[in-house]
């Protein structure tokens, strides 16, 4: 088991809220970019804590950027009282690492929501991710983000630019290099907690829907899935209203 680092947190909701959620961002991003989920949860009476993953945001830098290392950090991240999370929400890389963490310890969270999860990457997906990250690092300015995504909320534009400025380029590159076989399908198939996947639209681009990794939905009866029409890999930025509506519906279903 890799040695964990302590991940910095950003929070939404009352400190004494009875329900606690953990929000985990994707590759090259940061905790603040999960703000849509944080706001939605706080409005619903939850306390939501978003973390910066190792090598990202203001989190400690390290040498190990395997999915197992990211998962070890998350497994060591608990609510303030040390109990289990009521909910973990992970996007992309954060979803893969969360999947590994809860497969190893089902008591870590009671529910799991995976946003276009990077469960297993095809060679084409790996190239798309590599090119996207290189583009982000080439010009990490709000202007460049705004030109590439003119329909995004200004918060997302500013935070996406900030995340590229904060992240370790080496760490992002090593995340690809050190995970030569990017496949946590076995962990997803073994999930023992109620799990919902919010997938992106493959007509735009999805790293999960329509890919071999989607087989885990049929393989594990605890996993359900919905698709955000018209959204790319970050549905909470591309189609925020539809994504949050599906998210809240999923929470209600996972409670039953």
Question: What is the rounded distance in angstroms from the CA atom of residue 102 to the CA atom of residue 92?
Answer: 15
* Residues 85-127 pLDDT 10s: 999 999 999 999 999 999 999 999 999 999 999 999 999 999 9
Q: Which residue has the tokens 């973390």?
A: 51
Helix (H) or strand (E) holding 227: strand 223-228
* Residues 171-229 pLDDT 10s: 999 999 999 999 999 999 999 999 999 999 999 999 999 999 999 999 999 999 999 99
Q: What are phi and psi of 166, to 5 degrees?
A: -85, -35
Question: Of 102, 84, 108, 96, nearest to 53 (Cα)?
Answer: 96
Question: What is the rounded distance in angstroms from the CA atom of residue 22 to the CA atom of residue 60?
Answer: 18
Question: Of 97, 113, 114, 116, nearest to 105 (Cα)?
Answer: 97
Against a cut of 0.95, is the pTM above it? yes
pLDDT value for 80: 85
Q: Which two tokens stand for residue 172?
A: 């992002």
The domain segmentation of the chain, as residue ranges, is 9-255
| Fold (CATH) for 9-255 | Rossmann fold (3.40.50)
């Amino acid at each position: 088991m890799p040695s964990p680092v302590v991940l910095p947190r950003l929070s939404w909701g009352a400190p004494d809220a009875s329900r606690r959620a953990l929000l985990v961002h994707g590759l090259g991003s940061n905790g603040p970019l999960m703000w849509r989920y944080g706001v939605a949860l706080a409005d619903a009476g939850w306390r939501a804590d978003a973390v910066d993953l190792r090598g990202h945001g203001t989190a400690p830098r390290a040498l190990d950027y395997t999915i197992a290392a990211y998962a070890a950090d998350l497994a060591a991240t608990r609510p303030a009282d040390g109990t289990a999370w009521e909910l973990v929400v992970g996007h992309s890389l954060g979803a893969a690492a969360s999947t590994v963490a809860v497969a190893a310890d089902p008591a870590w969270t009671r529910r799991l929501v995976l946003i276009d999860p990077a469960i297993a990457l095809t060679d084409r997906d790996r190239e798309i991710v590599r090119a996207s990250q290189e583009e982000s690092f080439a010009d990490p300015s709000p202007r460049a983000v705004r030109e590439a995504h003119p329909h995004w909320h200004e918060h997302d534009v500013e935070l996406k630019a900030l995340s590229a400025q904060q992240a370790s380029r080496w760490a992002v590159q090593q995340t690809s290099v050190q995970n030569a076989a990017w496949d946590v399908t076995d962990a997803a198939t073994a999930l023992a907690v109620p799990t919902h996947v919010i997938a992106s639209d493959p007509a735009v681009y999805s790293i999960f829907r329509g890919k071999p990794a989607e087989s885990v939905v049929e393989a594990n009866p605890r996993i359900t899935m919905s698709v955000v029409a018209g959204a790319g890999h970050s549905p909470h930025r591309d189609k925020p209203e539809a994504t949050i509506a599906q998210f809240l519906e999923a929470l209600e279903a996972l409670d039953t």
